[in-house]
A and B are shown apart, each in its own frame.
Chain A
Amino acid sequence: MASTRDIRRRIKSVKNTRQITKAMELVAASKMKKAQQAALAGRPYAELMSQMLAALADRVEQSQHPFLAQREIKVRGIILITSDKGLCGPLNSNLFKLVTDIKTPAKYAVIGRKGAQFIARTRRQLLADFPANDRTTFADVKVVAEFMVQQFLEGNVDTVEVVWPRFRNTLVQVPTLMPLLPLSSLKEAIDGLVSDAGLTPASTPRATDSQMLFEPAATSVLEALLPLYVNRGLYLMALAAKASEHSARMVAMKTAKDNATKLLGDLTLEYNKARQAGITQEILEIAAAQFAA
């Protein structure tokens, strides 16, 4: 049996660990709340954009915009959204599993240090990596989106897809692969926006669309709106990834804290037993000495 001093030392270290994991859990919980709120704050924007796109889609029969052009897919472009820091359970490794399943040639742009390390380690082609700040701003995400769109337009990649942990609820984050470009149709883009805004599709059509005036022409408005659509889409995913990261971390830290508490109980029991055994031993020795005297 370990000596009481050793056990005492162990108890102290486990206590410290519990303290830290408890603090991290609380921090992650508050950050998660913020991230979720940020995701909700984007809803009016999605709603308005869907209505504008719908108004335009009626007017513009066929657009020559490269975002809508279907072309042969030789190299896929994939944006991988991960976290900068670890200690968030299986969040990142689940994403990496999804990436490992991609067998066709692909080039990667990564948000978050963990993902960049993974892509480099597995010798995949990394186009660029971006830091994952604690607060996801639209400006940060826009840089990533524009970079990838540039690659897409130059023909370096033939699709733009995103791998990110979709936020289902606090306990469940689903690693998801979603295509962003090319857009298969405007209709689909509109439907996506409508569901992002938390609306039902039926509530959007309006009567006045047919008489709407466009300034400049409808086609050019549409073509200016599409990049914004892509930026917004990626922004939303980055926000969801943030929320996922914090909730995964919260859950991981909660488990760690619970384990530490359990371990602490076991150790305390063992310590008390050892202490009691020591005392009994001492009494025995004293009694034996008395008898001998």
Chain B
Amino acid sequence: MPLTLEIVTPEARVYSDTIDTVVLPTSSGEVGILPGHIPLLTQIANGELRVTKNGQTLWLAVSGGFAEVEGDKVRVLAEHAITEEKIDVNAVEDALKRAEQQLSDAQGIDPQQYERLQNLVRYSGVQLAVKRRRR
């Protein structure tokens, strides 16, 4: 029985397909989901989400969210998610540089801003990693 995977963000439904397996980057390590998994609700960290379908592997970069496994349905609630082919390396590298610059410049900016920038850096890093793996 194949799994169906659905990834939604507040802005759009990013991915929706039937797949063979998926590996989720949870806050306590990677979790591989095969058909017949027990119901699970877990927190997702910034990382690479790996989808296998018909022997082909697809990577997605996701950041902060939750995943739910229920029956043969896997659903991911993420703040950002992007498929590998949509990642624009140059744009991400620029954003990464800007954010890192801001991080090193701004000592003593408010912690929230700091956390936001760090998050951005991490997510950018993930996107680059996903892209590089492909090459």
Contact = CB atoms under 8 A, between A and B. Distances in A.
Contact of B39 (A142, A211, A224): A211
A61 interface: no
Contact-size category for B: 20 to 34
A138 B9 contact: yes
Contacts of A32: none
Contact of B40 (A42, A143, A213, A228): A213
A280 B34 CA distance: 94
A41 B77 CA distance: 14
B21 interface: no
Given A138-B11, A214-B42, A216-B27, A208 B70 contact: yes
B42 A38 contact: no
B116 interface: yes
Interface stretch (A45-53, A93-101, A158-166): A45-53
A232 B10 contact: yes
Which DSSP category, helix, strand, loop or mixed, fits chain B's interface? strand
Given A138-B9, A216-B43, A206 B112 contact: no
A152 B33 CA distance: 38
B66 interface: yes
26 contacts: A38-B11, A42-B10, A44-B13, A45-B8, A45-B77, A49-B77, A52-B66, A55-B68, A138-B10, A211-B38, A212-B39, A212-B40, A213-B39, A213-B41, A214-B40, A214-B42, A215-B31, A215-B40, A215-B42, A215-B43, A216-B42, A216-B43, A218-B41, A221-B66, A224-B66, A231-B10
